[in-house]
Structure 1
Amino acid sequence: MNAFGTTSAELAERLINQIINTTHLQSSNEPVAAENLNAALAAVTGIAPRDEAEAMLAAQMVGVHWLAMDLLRKANDRALLNDAGNLAVKLLRTYTTQLEALKRYRSGGEQLVVVQHQHVNVTADQAAVQVSGGNYPAPEGRGAPSKPKEQSHAPGPITYESATSLQCPNPARNVVPVTNGAGKAPVQNARRR
């Protein structure tokens, strides 16, 4: 029950039976291998389901992975290559989708967006550029970002002088030369045909 993150003995027993049926890839006459069951339960424990929904998803993930790996093993046989290989690929895609579903379920559908400001300081004396703001959090959202250095936001030695406006010098912008060179005609809107 602890491995499945549930207080329901009935659900835990049902999930164990489903995992046994999925991971027992031998004939039904052979007993269930304790190593397989222990490995499957270790995988569920590693996923660490927090509630019943996560427990069911963890059981599915273990079953999908186990079967996909067995199909990949069977794909070594030339006679089974197409069928076993195609089904294995579908199951591996399913497993990836299950991981994404678990991640979305655990995060409550929230996404983390980190917005950082970049400051560029240019000094004419040193002719060097310093960029700060590279204090990104660790990959995959793990860890906390380091605290940025305190910097003055006072304007630096870079100045801006307003130049002439960047408007088109030709006020009749919708006029182009006619192909035969006889004069100018308005541009047709291609969407009005």
Structure 2
Amino acid sequence: MWTFFNYSSILTNMQKVRFAKSLDTSLEGSLMPLDNEEPSKTAVVAPTPKRAPTPLRQAAPIDRDQKAVAEAAKRYQERTPAFEYQISSRDGGVMGLAPLHLDAAGHLLRELDVFGTSSVDFSRHSIGRIAAVMKDRREDIPSQINLNAGVAAVAGIAPRNETEAMLATQMVGTHEVAMEMLTRAKMATDPGQIERYGTLATKLLRTYTAQIEALAKVRRGGEQNVTVKHVHVYEGGQAIVGNVTTGKAGGHFDNGTQAHALTGTAALALSDGGSMLRQDQGRDAVPVAGGEWEGPVPDARRRPRQRRAKG
């Protein structure tokens, strides 16, 4: 069920309040002594009227806007409803939480599902951690908006177990503090403060990226899958199907007992059937260096070595 608000009337009321405040502000300091009277006697000078703010002009949505709104409404309906709390009490720095509806048992089940656990103690402890990092510095308890924003971030990560829930909670805290450092760096005027806050924000954002990579690694079980999109094997060629592992560090690749040179039909796999490089009959032959002679090129196959007996 969609609820539409009359934003025009809301804006009009806001403008009236602002105009009344501007008149009250203009009245302050308008009491000044007259030239022929004692300083204790004052008279009211009429304030200079101020122009009312120009009302906003909002055009009707065009077809593209209406289409985008319809698509957004469809995606909104397909999403899972947000899991939220309402803060029931703030006595003595202790935060009391209550569900937004009367189904307390269903709300508790959704809480456990959000944090990927069956332990109520674990979920409540995680909520306390989120509340501690989402509250402002001058507050003992976070606002309901900030608390639900942090819980919504964890729900978006959708942890499947306690390990992923702890990592998701850390990601919420890292992101919140990183944005705080970015805000301080932007509002600072001292170059030293800008550099200090900017450096902290950079480190936190790198940590956040590392946490995302760690979460992805945990979810795929530590394995790394490499997908080959295109494999071209020509006639007479050979292809390796399976896992290829590298050897020691430094770029060394151990091909086992594979020969260096191809033999048989595989040797012609990359050949188009034409002749190889030969002497150009139309030009003079390249002179042969002294001490050299023509002969067959040795095969590139490894020669088996005889191991020497020890001793």
Report the counterpart of residue 101 of structure 1 in structure 2.
214
Q: Which has the larger radius of gyration?
A: 2
Q: What is the match of residue 21 of structure 1?
A: 132
Distance 1:170 1:105, change over 3 A: farther
Displacement of 1:112: 1.8
| Residue in structure 1 matched with residue 181 of structure 2 by the alignment | 71
Segments of structure 1 that go 5 or more residues without pairing to the other structure are 121-157, 174-193
How far off its partner does 1:113 sit? 1.4
In structure 2, C-alpha distance between the alignment counterparts of 1:171 and 1:75, rounded to whole Å: 75
Query: TM-score scaled to structure 2, two decimals?
Result: 0.39
Q: Which residue of 2 aligns with 1:145?
A: none
Give the Cα–Cα distance (whole angstroms) in 1 for the partners of residues 136 and 205 of structure 2.
18
Tell me which residue corresponds to 1:50.
160
Cα RMSD (Å) = 2.5
Report how many residues are paired. Answer: 132
TM-score (norm 1): 0.61
Superposed CA deviations along residues 114-170 of structure 1, whole A, max 9, x for unmatched, are 2222489xxxxxxxxxxxxxxxxxxxxxxxxxxxxxxxxxxxxx93235259xxx87
Q: Specify whether residues 101 and 172 from structure 1 end up closer, same or farther in structure 2 by C-alpha distance, changes over 3 A only.
A: farther
Partner of 1:185: none
Q: Of residues 123, 142, 146 in structure 2, which corresponds to 1:12? A: 123
Matched residue type, 1:95: Y
Aligned to 1:26, what secondary structure does the other structure show? coil
2:203: which partner in 1? Answer: 90
Deviations 1:24-59 (A, max 9, x none): 123144x42100111111100000000000000000
Matched residue of 1:6: which SS?
A: coil
Moved over 4 A (4+): 169-173
Any idea what the Cα deviations from partners look like across 1:70-124, whole Å, max 9, x if unmatched?
110011212331221111111000000000000000011122212222489xxxx
Identity of paired residues, percent? 42
